[in-house]
Homo-oligomer: A and B are copies of this chain.
């Protein structure tokens, strides 16, 4: 960072902007499977408008007109909603690189959530109009966005189905399985390091912190997990999976 100072002072702002742009790894995470070609990444870099935000700032507000797609390049952010008491209720926690809103701008619509920086983050915005024009010359880019949106549809469909058909214990079991890391030589075991406040995890599961606390106690009593602070040891993945099935 501080190493490269060759450019004249007038372009240090440009250099800072470039530094805020996603690198190859970030582009790879924003788009899936058939990776973005170098040329496509370059094209996107030209359209990208970087923004830096510090912890606690709002990236956008629910209801604001959305003329640009918004991607989180690096850092942690939350999608959710400010309630009446100006308390932020997290609905989804995102760790960059990830899309904060890849859909509203295509319809000339409005953002569906409040988005809030949980730490110092960098975000890039892509004007939907400009992106649409670019897609005309670079059809592969269009397929990338189709895939991004299709992935979002899949995730949201699963989320809605979970809310409709699964009770709180099943959702919590599913969350644990999804965040479970393998333990060497112990296929039934697993490790989950909680990176969020428990109340935020509860928020994601659409339950109250009290209920989550009781669930942890209940699962522990059943011998399925062991909790100490922000570390959860999964003792029996099979039974956890059975709980997750409802």
Give A residues with C-beta under 8 Å from B.
32, 81, 91, 102-104, 106-107, 109, 112-113, 132, 135-137, 139-140, 142-143, 145-147, 149-154, 156-161, 163-165, 206
Contacts and interface: CB of A to CB of B under 8 A. Distances in A.
Nearest to A139: B136
Given A147-B106, A156-B153, A163 B161 contact: no
Interface residues of chain A: helix, strand, loop or mixed (majority) = helix
Most buried by B among A32, A106, A158, A163: A106
Contacts of A153: 102-103, 149, 152-153, 156
Contacts of A145: 146
B150 A106 contact: yes
A104 B149 CA distance: 10
A139 B206 CA distance: 40
Given A106-B150, A113-B157, 4 more contacts: A103-B149, A135-B143, A142-B142, A142-B146
B146 A136 contact: no
Contacts of A152: 149, 153
